[in-house]
Amino acid sequence: MRLMIVTQDFPPETGGIQTYTLSHATHLVKWCSWVGVICPNKTGSSDLDPALNFPVFRLKSRNELLAFSLLTNLRPVLRDHPVDAVFHSQWQTAGASIRAREAGLVGKVFVAAHIRELLFNPYKHIPGLSRLFHKYRQWVLDHADHLYPVSDYTAGRLEELGVEPSRITVVINGTDPQKFYPEDASEIRKKLGIEHKKVLLTITRLVKRKGIDTVLEALQTVLNQVPDVHYLVVGEGADKMRLQQIVREQDLEEHVTFAGRVPYQEINRYYNAGDLFVMPSRTQEPDIEGFGIVFLEANACGLPVIGSDSGGIPSAIEDGVTGYIIPEGNPAELAGKILSLLSDPELAEKFGRQGR
Ligand code: GDD
């Protein structure tokens, strides 16, 4: 099969859909006779793209406006590079492919579903536009040949939107154990001044729903019993200043490090700088955790993980096998589970090994 993948979000930017699309394209090359990716142009693209094992067609467009750009730009790319199917990482961009299928330019149109992009309506305060937007979403969901949610939770939300189960196949997110693996991270630990600490780690875009503030709330309880604990937060995002403010207010400066965005080449070492991965996400409709690829990446590095029961996280963590699932928004429960793993290195090692 010849396959075109279309995505609003792609490296060099970081985030879940970026990781998802890059991994799918990289690995589908082995199963398809040809794979290409269409996505927005970004600073740094020209360094990244030549190193990939598939061609990337960059369109001059803002991420959220790619659907409009495709109305004129998809067909010329498909004429030069005919494909059997187009796979969309977000439903928003699928309209142009559905029209191209009607014109006989492509056989099938497939659509992934994570969660936030499925539920988020940028026009919710403008009634007319909001109705149009929902109408367009329904039309795409009704006309796509097949839908691929990343967790059982997301599949359930698709069904709530009227998609018949026969048109849905859950494809649980994965990660690449060749890219994420245990390695010595003593240099990073030294650089960050946390060589002799027990390190709690979160790697994510810094947005409210990720529950980093819940970890900060739990931290004092943990420190009371294990004073050499340090919390390392990797990633950038709109919530950073608020989180830093909480750290100052709670007098936690010497126990918390915000390392910022880390380049792709270094991300594995940062995972390995942690002893225990935590991300107790909260449900803030439409901002919900669709799955949590970061739990798999941490597990692949041999770390045990703790997440919440929010959204699709139960598809990412096997409770009591690869880590723990706690009720969302519950710092006391989180502190308890952190302490139980820090005080039982054998169990922590076992969860990490089973996770990998
Ligand atoms: N190199 C690097 N540097 N990578 C980063 C950084 C960084 O500073 N911050 C985050 N990432 C990468 C992680 O390694 C992971 O691969 C991805 O970005 C996850 O980003 P998140 O912020 O945690 O996820 P999301 O909310 O964008 O992703 C959504 O879609 C995913 C794919 O289906 C969510 O719904 C996730 O739950 C879902 O798994």
Q: Please give the full DSSP string across 59-119, using - where no structure is assigned.
A: ESS-GGGHHHHHHHHHHHHHHHS--SEEEESSGGGTHHHHHHHHTTS-SEEEEEE-SHHHH
Which residues line the pocket of ligand 1, CB cutoff 6 A?
14-17, 19-20, 114-116, 150, 173, 203-205, 234-235, 261-264, 267, 289-294, 297
Instruction: Give CA torsion, residues 352, 313, 238, 199, to 10 deg.
Output: -20
What pLDDT is attached to residue 335? Answer: 98
pLDDT for 22 equals 97
Name the residue with the closest Cα to ligand 1, atom 36. Answer: 292
What pLDDT shows up at residue 220? 96
**What are the pLDDT digits (tens) for 209-227?**
999 999 999 999 999 999 9
- The pLDDT value given to residue 150: 98
Check residue 120 and give its pLDDT. Answer: 97
Confidence (pTM): 0.96
DSSP 298: H
**pLDDT value at position 218?**
98
Which of 300, 306, 293 has its CA nearest to residue 334? 306
Q: What's the rounded Cα separation, in Å, for the pair 92 and 85?
A: 17
CA of 275 to the centre of ligand 1 (A): 19
Q: Nearest C-alpha to atom 19 of ligand 1 is from which residue?
A: 16
The ligand 1 atom at the shortest distance from the C-alpha of residue 291 is 37
Mutation probe of ligand 1 site: the residue of 119, 157, 266, 267 with most atoms within 8 A of C-beta: 267
Residue-level pLDDT at 119 = 98
- What average pLDDT does range 19-39 have in this prediction? 97
pLDDT above 70 covers a percentage of the chain that reads 100
d(CA 258, CA 236) in angstroms, rounded, equals 9
d(CA 32, CA 166): 24
Mean pLDDT of 261-267: 95
Label residue 178 by pLDDT band (50, 70, 90): very high
Q: How confident is the model at residue 135 (pLDDT cuts 50, 70, 90)?
A: very high
Task: Tell me the mean pLDDT in the region 326-346.
Answer: 98
The percentage of the chain sitting over the pLDDT mark of 90, rounded to a whole number, equals 100
Q: Considering only CA atoms, which residue is closest to atom 24 of ligand 1?
A: 16
Phi/psi at 353 (nearest 5 deg)? Answer: -65, -45
| pLDDT confidence bin for 328, thresholds 50/70/90 | very high
Query: For ligand 1, what atom is nearest to the CA of residue 20?
Result: 32
Tens digit of pLDDT for each residue in 75-129? 999 999 999 999 999 999 999 999 999 999 999 999 999 999 999 999 999 999 9
What does the pLDDT read at residue 128? 95
Q: Whose CA is nearest to atom 29 of ligand 1?
A: 16
